[in-house]
């Protein structure tokens, strides 16, 4: 069938609903439209005599930049963690109500990156307000981390971890550090990057075996499984 005998999918949807061309494109990119039973997300897709169906439950969401939370597995870099933001790895427990669209992959900025050996909560955002906040307020936003350690801590080790360590002539900011178990320390830090934790541990006789970030500001990782992601809900604030 020649191009002259086909029509742009967005034009077909606009006539079916009916709605504006812009709204038709949104129905398509949000995954509400099927052509011959197959999901199609490209408004420019050409159709001829195929059956075009718009889900009767379709509801357009307000166009807004998205922020995604990823549970990064240990050993994974930033680019690979961002690549996890896909249909197959979208957590079924996501309660944001946000429907994934392809545009959510455009202009995404990684924020407060974790070291490759660490696991846990990572943030990727298109939202300029969140990008600015996590850049400008990085030193005052608390991060909660769980460190699995081995070794015997020095007699005053816990106190030194909480305040008193000096790195390259500069005193580290105070931290809240406590034992979760015999082999796990909980760190709540501001102005201390996660990649400093291995060094901090060595200063008090401990060796870091594993590090996981479980909270950034007021946003916890909670039940998000490793290798999966969810949207930041409208009501969540860092």
User: What digits encode the pLDDT tens for the residues 19-60?
Assistant: 898 888 888 888 889 999 999 988 899 999 999 999 998 887
111, β-bridge pairs: 123
Q: Rounded CA gap, 3 and 95, in Å?
A: 42
Provide the pLDDT confidence category of residue 4 given band limits of 50, 70 and 90.
low
Contact 56, 17 (CB under 8 A): no
Q: What is the pLDDT of residues 75-126, one digit of tens each?
A: 999 999 999 999 899 999 999 989 888 788 889 999 999 999 999 999 999 9
pLDDT computed for residue 106 by the predictor: 81
pLDDT computed for residue 2 by the predictor: 61
Whole-model pTM: value is 0.79
Residue 215 has pLDDT above 90, yes or no: yes
**Which of 58-67, 97-106, 214-223 is predicted most confidently?**
214-223
Residue 190 has pLDDT above 80, yes or no: yes
Q: What domains are defined for the chain?
A: 3-54 (3.10.290.10), 67-138+224-231 (3.30.70.580), 143-216 (3.30.70.1560)
Nearest to 81 by CA among 40, 115, 50, 46: 115
Distances (CA, A) of 210 to 22, 81, 175, 183, 195: 48, 18, 19, 11, 12
Per-chain mean pLDDT for the chain? 93
């Amino acid at each position: 069938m020649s191009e002259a005998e086909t029509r742009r999918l967005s034009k077909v949807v606009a006539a079916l609903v009916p709605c504006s061309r812009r709204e038709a494109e949104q129905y398509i990119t949000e995954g509400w439209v099927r052509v011959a039973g197959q999901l199609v997300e490209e408004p420019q897709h050409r159709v001829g005599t195929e059956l075009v169906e718009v889900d009767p439950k379709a509801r357009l969401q307000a166009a807004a930049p998205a922020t995604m939370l990823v549970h990064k597995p240990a050993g994974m870099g930033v680019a690979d963690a961002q690549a996890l933001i896909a249909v197959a790895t979208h957590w079924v427990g996501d309660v944001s109500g946000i429907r994934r669209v392809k545009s959510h992959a455009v202009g995404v900025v990684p924020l407060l990156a974790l070291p490759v050996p660490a696991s846990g909560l990572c943030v990727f955002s298109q939202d300029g307000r969140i990008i600015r906040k996590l850049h400008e307020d990085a030193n005052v936003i608390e991060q909660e981390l769980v460190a699995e350690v081995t070794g015997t801590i020095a007699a005053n080790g816990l106190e030194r971890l909480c305040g008193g360590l000096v790195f390259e002539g500069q005193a580290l900011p105070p931290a809240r550090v406590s034992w979760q178990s015999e082999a796990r320390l909980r760190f709540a830090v501001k102005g201390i990057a996660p990649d400093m934790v291995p060094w901090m541990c060595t200063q008090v006789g401990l060796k870091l075996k594993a590090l996981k970030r479980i909270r950034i500001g007021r946003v916890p990782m909670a039940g998000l499984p490793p290798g999966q992601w969810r949207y930041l809900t409208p009501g969540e604030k860092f």
